[in-house]
Chain A
């Protein structure tokens, strides 16, 4: 099964209509079809996924909070709408999971941090309002690295999420819970957030699709801020059509986020034509570096060959400032984080230390007891980079190098329509392998970080497995606000391969 072969999307149609169908394995569009033909009710869909969570989440540990009752209530409401016979919005009755960094009214939103452990937001993020307006079913909140800072979900203050493909390996991060939940069929699809690769890298590690939209494509209102000039919310899904459906649901201008772009949102599903003839795929030499895992490199080249067989052309492009991306990122992102996380002072919400002697002690001890080691390290680094005497040497310097990284992409996109790279230089690693050395963990984000610095859209799709059975991801990077093209190319590749149909051995 683990090899490239031609198959058509209609092939699975018959199988899910049979009685043996496992509802939890269905994609969003397959669930939509079943609801439309009344082959399944929303309650049946949601109950089957909740049952699977009960059975398997003890192993995977994807969820921080489950909202079973609310989910079944919402499914019942959708079934009543179905009974009336009115046309339903696209996400009606679809069971989704939400990364625990996105505010959900009345449902705990912890950022996997002790400092926000009991926090129940009094409002919904804009993306949540949009999902609710489409009658989607929210199953619960998913685990992550504390405040989205990490690449393995090991920085969660609560517990470690496991990779469904190999339970002694990390699911990637920071959106590891969302990625693992989708891969293990513990939801139909999920939302995550991506500041330096936090959607694409876990999607790659868990063998599913994950899209970071262009900066400004999706409203950040209600996304707990990490690095405001880099953060973006995006979908995790079992296939590209589902990515397109979810992106369409959450994208668009929001008066509550002044950085959300006032641009029309294309109908992404209709751009999935399967035709990539003449699409120019740029391959940056600078990304095929020493230290890349040979199995990852081989899988990515095979994927590029597949795209060429489908009629795309290969162009050589250059991103010469790639070696400076991680250094730039860890100044820009930590500087913004140190400022954003200043709000956790133990006054209006979140954790407060017991019996502080005075106000200063209340701040210092609440933050000391509430934040984990990686968050403290980044607050310290960011505060240092912004402090008097170091601002020009670090923060301003990094912002200037950010300009150079952006220009690299502008030049590259004069010669191509899409850039193809590995998502991560290595397959998933084992727990504890990189926790002792923060810099080693940072270096694993080499291929995803530049995309955030340049504000571009990027998607990771499954493109193979190692001999040990660990997933490998292909990253496709697009021009600003051109999610349609990367989705089209990803979809054509997916139609020509079977990777996305493989299921972890749970």
Chain B
């Protein structure tokens, strides 16, 4: 077994996903079979190989810090599931 139910629960917590008991077991079995397949990467000796994160040579892009038009607050808030005036409203985080 590549992944345990306990690990599935841990990863679900990290990913902020709630899973039912049935989903957890199904997910465990499916991820287990995918990880077993992925194990074939260990057939390759990569000790002397550099990792590729991007195929293009990446350089940082600099520009002058100029004031440019941007979205209005109203445009930004128009898709909010819940708002209060010009703010996103979320459940209380701080205790009173």
Docked pose: A312 CA to B7 CA in angstroms: 54
* B5 interface residue (CB < 8 Å to A): no
Residues A401 and B44 in contact, CB atoms below 8 Å apart = yes
A216 within 8 A of B: yes
Residue A119 interfacial (CB < 8 Å): yes
Say whether chain A's binding surface is mostly helix, strand, loop, or mixed.
Answer: helix
Contact residue among A327, A342, A400 (Cβ-Cβ distance under 8 Å from B49): A400
> Are A377 and B41 neighbours in the complex by a CB distance under 8 Å?
no
Tell me, yes or no, whether A399 is within 8 Å of chain B by CB. yes
A interface residue count range (under 10 / 10 to 19 / 20 to 34 / 35 or more): 35 or more
Q: Using Cβ atoms and an 8 Å threshold, which residues of chain A touch B18?
A: 364-365, 367-368
In the complex, which residues of chain B have a beta carbon less than 8 angstroms from the beta carbon of A328? 41
Known: A330-B34, A379-B15, A383-B15. A118 touches B79 (CB 8 A): yes
Chain B interface, >50% SS class? loop
* Cβ A384 vs Cβ B52 within 8 A: no
Question: Is residue B84 contacting chain A, with contact meaning CB distance below 8 A?
Answer: no
Q: Mark A344-381, 1 if CB is under 8 A from B, else 0.
A: 01111111100011111111110110010000110111
Is the Cβ of B34 less than 8 Å from the Cβ of A381? yes
Binding stretch for chain B, among A15-23, A39-47, A152-160, A254-262: A254-262
Name the residue on A nearest B77 (C-beta): A348
> Closest CB of chain B to A155's CB: distance in Å?
14
Nearest chain-A residue to B88 (Cβ)? A347
A362→B30 contact, CB < 8 A: no
Across the interface, which residues of A come within 8 angstroms of B63, CB to CB?
255
Chain A residues in 8 Å Cβ range of B14:
383, 387
Candidates B23, B38, B90; contact of A347 at CB < 8 Å: B90
Q: Assign chain B's interface to a size class.
A: 35 or more
Q: Tell me which residues across on chain B come within 8 A of A316, comparing CB atoms.
A: none
Residue of B8, B58, B81 near A259 (CB, 8 A) is: B58
Q: How far is the CA of A338 from the CA of B90 in the complex (A)?
A: 23
Given known contacts A118-B79, A328-B41, A380 and B17 CB-to-CB distance under 8 angstroms:
yes
Could you say which of A347, A398, A438 contacts B34, with CB atoms under 8 Å apart? Answer: A438
Distance between Cα atoms of A120 and B78 in the complex (Å): 9
Whether, in the assembled complex, A130 has its beta carbon less than 8 Å from a beta carbon of chain B, the answer is no
- Is B16 on the interface with A (CB-CB < 8 A)? yes
A444 on the B face (CB < 8 A):
no
Residues of chain A lying within 8 A (CB to CB) of residue B88: 347-348
B37 touches A383 (CB 8 A): no
User: If the complex has contacts A345-B16, A384-B3, are A324 and B44 also in contact, measured as CB distance less than 8 A?
Assistant: yes
A residues in contact with B61, CB < 8 Å: 255, 258
Known A216-B56, A348-B79: A394·B46 in contact at CB below 8 Å:
no
Shortest distance between the CB of A450 and any CB in chain B (Å): 12
- Interface membership of A215, Cβ < 8 A: yes
Q: Which of B67-90 contact A (CB under 8 A)?
A: 71, 75-76, 78-82, 88, 90
Give the shortest distance, in Å, between A348 (CB) and chain B (any CB).
6
* A29 to B56 Cα, complex, angstroms: 33
Q: Does B96 contact A (CB under 8 A)?
A: no
Quick check: is A406 within 8 A (CB to CB) of the other chain?
A: yes
Q: Scoring B residues 33 to 61 as 1 if CB is less than 8 Å from chain A, else 0, what string do you get?
A: 11101111111101001111111101001
In the bound complex, residues from chain B placing their C-beta under 8 Å from that of A259 are 54, 56, 58
For A368, give the chain B residue with the smallest CB separation: B18
Chain A residue with the shortest CB-CB distance to B61: A258
B79 proximity list for chain A (CB < 8 A): 118-120, 122, 348-350
9 A-B pairs with CB atoms under 8 Å apart are A123-B71, A216-B55, A324-B43, A360-B16, A365-B18, A377-B31, A379-B15, A384-B7, A400-B49
Contacts A387-B14, A401-B41, A438-B34 known; 5 new A-B pairs at CB < 8 A: A229-B53, A342-B16, A365-B18, A377-B31, A402-B51
Complex A-B, nearest 4 residue pairs according to Cβ-Cβ distance, in ascending order: A455-B55, A399-B51, A349-B79, A352-B81
